[in-house]
A and B are shown apart, each in its own frame.
Chain A
Amino acid sequence: MNSSPNAPAAVDIRGASKTYPNGTRALEPIDLTVREGEFVTIVGPSGCGKSTLLRLIAGLSAPSTGDISLSPGFTPPRLAYVFQSPTLMPWANVRANVRLPLDLAGMARSEAEQATDHVLDLVGLQECARAFPRELSGGMQMRVSIARALATGPRLLLMDEPFGALDEITRNRLDREISELSARENLTVLFVTHSIYEAVFLSSRVLVMSPRPGHIAGEVAIDAPRPRRAAFRNMPEFFARSAQLSEMLGAAMTEAAQ
């Protein structure tokens, strides 16, 4: 499913900026609207404020100026966050890790177990439900992290370079799964990455951010229908958009260097 330009806004950001107490300007005032069902990816070099923007939207950090509004039904626990690292509790097995958001919300045990089973099936983890995080590979740990994010049945998914530490083969597979999942569950996704190819493969829209201080330097729409198959990586549109983004990113970097 793809969002139309007229879909209602899920996230509306008006002039939000972030300056840290030590005076570092992480983010210039930013305007951004993410519509329901959109898959928006932010690419940019380190220090361009991508993660800061995500943390502001999640409410993990307060904007210094401006306003961030989430539409009703897009706030926690219907908002989920997948961090750069799997961020699992090492003392709890996979099942308990995935169930955590439901436990924190005080959901009844049987209901929580049912929801946990459902998402474990969704990401193909049912067999490792009793394993502890340290017994799993990096890719599997990330799957657990995604399952946990999905446990509350979110409508808005924020993902901060979730596959950055994984090998390319695992990353491509998880990209495909996320693409399918987001389309099937009609998730609105905000995804941060370093990788232009990952951005083009996943997104309906890609934002290019530039550092010092962070701002949005440009934006590219990718119209191919989602979810996309592996073959999309060999299509002319994939190459054209990748080249376009690469050029924009290069220009943004030169601008930042001057």
Chain B
Amino acid sequence: MNARSWTTIAAPVAVGLVFLLLWHLIVAVNDIPPYIVPGPLLVLDTLLQDWDALFRSLLITLQVTGSALLLAVVLGSLLSVLFVQSRLLEAALLPYAVILQVTPLVAIAPLIIIWVDDPFDALVICATVASIFPVIANTTVGLRSVDTGLLDLFRLYGASRTQILLRLRIPSAAPYFFAGLRVATALALIGAVVAEFVAGTGGTRSGLAYQILQAGLQLKIPRLFAALFLITATGVVLFLVVSWLSRLALRRWHESEVAQEDTRRT
């Protein structure tokens, strides 16, 4: 490992450690009670103590996020393909996608929760609504951003619309799609959490947002912090997974993911 990649790991870790230390000292020196701000050690302790309940909730939140992301990717990509094949469809549908995007989720979540019987399904729909737009917007631009020379080449050899879509448009769209997927991943998690806050439903299938809500009401602030930490950690891990997928798909050819060393041959 070279010096540069060491700094990219060591520098943020150092900042994190300094932050934790300051947090601990401020709480300890000022004797702040745990129901206002718990120290980092107490949060860690609570996380381990309440691990079973918190982990069960984490899995639910992950399920909602994952299902919503899958739906957003499948529906969003399909819509993009339709938009690119037909200007009429795009003109007819895109404004509604925009309306869906600009309407705050907290405003429509209650309606969705009333209309959909199963609370889990309702949460998935909310998170999908929150995350589908970047997939549609990016993939549509990507499918259109085709090199005109290559398009001429495909036409010269009599390529069909399907061949142009599969062999030219979809590969051209991949970098745009992955950029959209990163944004959509973060939005799906936010959507899953916000929707559960609005729903406020408990029971056996409650996610991390409900844990936070409950912990807040019962003034179990360390537990609230522990749940919050899990949400953040989940977001970071999901982001890393998507970045890794993107690198895997693009590293051989796209400038955004190609290694820094120049590998040109003459």
Q: Which A positions have Cβ atoms within 8 angstroms of B?
A: 58-60, 76-77, 79, 81, 83-85, 87, 89-92, 100-101, 103-105, 128, 131-137, 139-140, 152
The interface residues of chain B lying within 8 Å CB-to-CB of A83 are 149, 152-153
Kindly provide the distance from the CB of A161 to the nearest chain B CB, expressed in whole angstroms: 13
Q: In the complex, which residues 147-195 of chain B have their Cβ closer than 8 Å to any Cβ of chain A?
A: 147, 149-150, 152-159, 163, 167-168, 171, 174
**Interface pair A77/B150, CB less than 8 Å apart:** no
In the complex the two chains form, what is the Cα distance from A90 to B265 in whole Å? 15
| Identity of the chain B residue whose Cβ is nearest the Cβ of A138 in the assembled complex | B266
In the complex the two chains form, what is the Cα distance from A88 to B3 in whole Å? 36
The interface residues of chain A lying within 8 Å CB-to-CB of B4 are none
In the complex the two chains form, what is the Cα distance from A139 to B264 in whole Å? 12
**Interface pair A76/B156, CB less than 8 Å apart:** yes
In the complex the two chains form, what is the Cα distance from A131 to B252 in whole Å? 9
The interface residues of chain B lying within 8 Å CB-to-CB of A136 are 264-265
Given contacts A83-B152, A90-B253, A134-B253, contact A128 B265 (CB under 8 A): yes
Which one of A85, A100, A132, A140 lies within 8 Å of B253 (CB-CB)?
A: A132
- Among A90, A132, A135, the one with the most B-chain Cβ atoms within 10 Å of its Cβ is A90
**Interface pair A137/B265, CB less than 8 Å apart:** yes
The interface residues of chain A lying within 8 Å CB-to-CB of B149 are 83-85, 87
Indicate whether B258 reaches chain A with its CB closer than 8 angstroms.
Answer: yes
Binary contact readout B56-74 vs A (1 if CB under 8 angstroms, 0 otherwise): 0000000000000000000
Chain A contact residues, majority secondary structure: loop
In the complex the two chains form, what is the Cα distance from A235 to B258 in whole Å? 48
Kindly provide the distance from the CB of B249 to the nearest chain A CB, expressed in whole angstroms: 9
Q: Which B positions have Cβ atoms within 8 angstroms of A?
A: 147, 149-150, 152-159, 163, 167-168, 171, 174, 252-255, 258, 263-266
28 interchain pairs, CB-CB under 8 A: A59-B156, A60-B155, A76-B156, A81-B153, A83-B149, A84-B149, A85-B149, A87-B152, A87-B153, A89-B150, A89-B167, A90-B253, A91-B253, A100-B153, A100-B157, A100-B167, A103-B167, A104-B158, A104-B159, A104-B167, A105-B157, A105-B158, A128-B265, A134-B264, A135-B264, A136-B264, A136-B265, A140-B266
In the complex the two chains form, what is the Cα distance from A133 to B264 in whole Å? 9
**Interface pair B157/A76, CB less than 8 Å apart:** yes
The interface residues of chain A lying within 8 Å CB-to-CB of B157 are 76-77, 100-101, 104-105, 152
Kindly provide the distance from the CB of B87 to the nearest chain A CB, expressed in whole angstroms: 18
Kindly provide the distance from the CB of B138 to the nearest chain A CB, expressed in whole angstroms: 17
Which one of A59, A90, A135, A137 lies within 8 Å of B254 (CB-CB)?
A: A90
**Interface pair A135/B263, CB less than 8 Å apart:** yes
Given contacts A91-B171, A128-B265, contact A60 B254 (CB under 8 A): no
- Beyond the given pairs A76-B156, A91-B174, A100-B167, 4 more chain A to chain B contacts, judged by CB atoms under 8 angstroms and listed by A's residue number, are A76-B158, A100-B157, A104-B167, A135-B264
Given contacts A134-B253, A139-B266, contact A87 B150 (CB under 8 A): yes
| Identity of the chain B residue whose Cβ is nearest the Cβ of A152 in the assembled complex | B157
The interface residues of chain A lying within 8 Å CB-to-CB of B150 are 87, 89
| Identity of the chain A residue whose Cβ is nearest the Cβ of B150 in the assembled complex | A87
**Interface pair B153/A131, CB less than 8 Å apart:** no
Kindly provide the distance from the CB of B76 to the nearest chain A CB, expressed in whole angstroms: 21
In the complex the two chains form, what is the Cα distance from A18 to B253 in whole Å? 38
Kindly provide the distance from the CB of B157 to the nearest chain A CB, expressed in whole angstroms: 5
In the complex the two chains form, what is the Cα distance from A173 to B258 in whole Å? 31
The interface residues of chain A lying within 8 Å CB-to-CB of B254 are 90-91
**Interface pair A134/B153, CB less than 8 Å apart:** no
Kindly provide the distance from the CB of B260 to the nearest chain A CB, expressed in whole angstroms: 13
